[in-house]
Amino acid sequence: MKRDTIKKHEDFATDENAPTARCAYFMIRAKKTKFKDDARFGLIVSKKSFKYAVDRNRAKRLIRDWIAYNEDLMNPDWDYVFIARKDIFGADRESGRNAMMKALRYMQKLSINE
């Protein structure tokens, strides 16, 4: 099942206690979906971190690839926000996918504890 993307600014907002996972390449924040069976994801790639549009677009492509590879680990009741970090370009495809897998498994543990 392919997820929709978050488009509205207010849907990106998460509270301080939101489940969070971090790695060198990105950070993930999650919150409950507004509507049942309508889980989405959003990407934040800022100009402050990535000066050129070509770099921002490349970072988004990398994260989308990693999400598609590990989508089965994502909780269907959560919206995910992925925030890219500068070190993302130091990752090859396999290490990025592994980092995403570890982060999503950590998020699963957080959802069990809720």
The string of pLDDT tens digits covering residues 5-21 is 877 767 777 777 788 99
| Helix (H) / strand (E) containing 4 | strand 4-5
Cα distances from 5 to residues 12, 41, 55, 86, in angstroms, run 10, 5, 20, 22
Q: Which residues lie across from 113 on neighbouring strands? A: none
CA distance 105 to 72: 11
Domain range summary for the chain, segments of one domain joined by +: 4-113
| Span 71-91, pLDDT tens digits | 889 888 888 999 999 999 999
Mean pLDDT of 99-114: 85
| Dihedral sign (CA 9, 11, 12, 18) | positive
Instruction: Identify the DSSP state of 17.
Output: T
- In CATH terms, the fold of domain 4-113 is Ribosomal Protein S5; domain 2 (3.30.230)
| pTM, entire model | 0.88
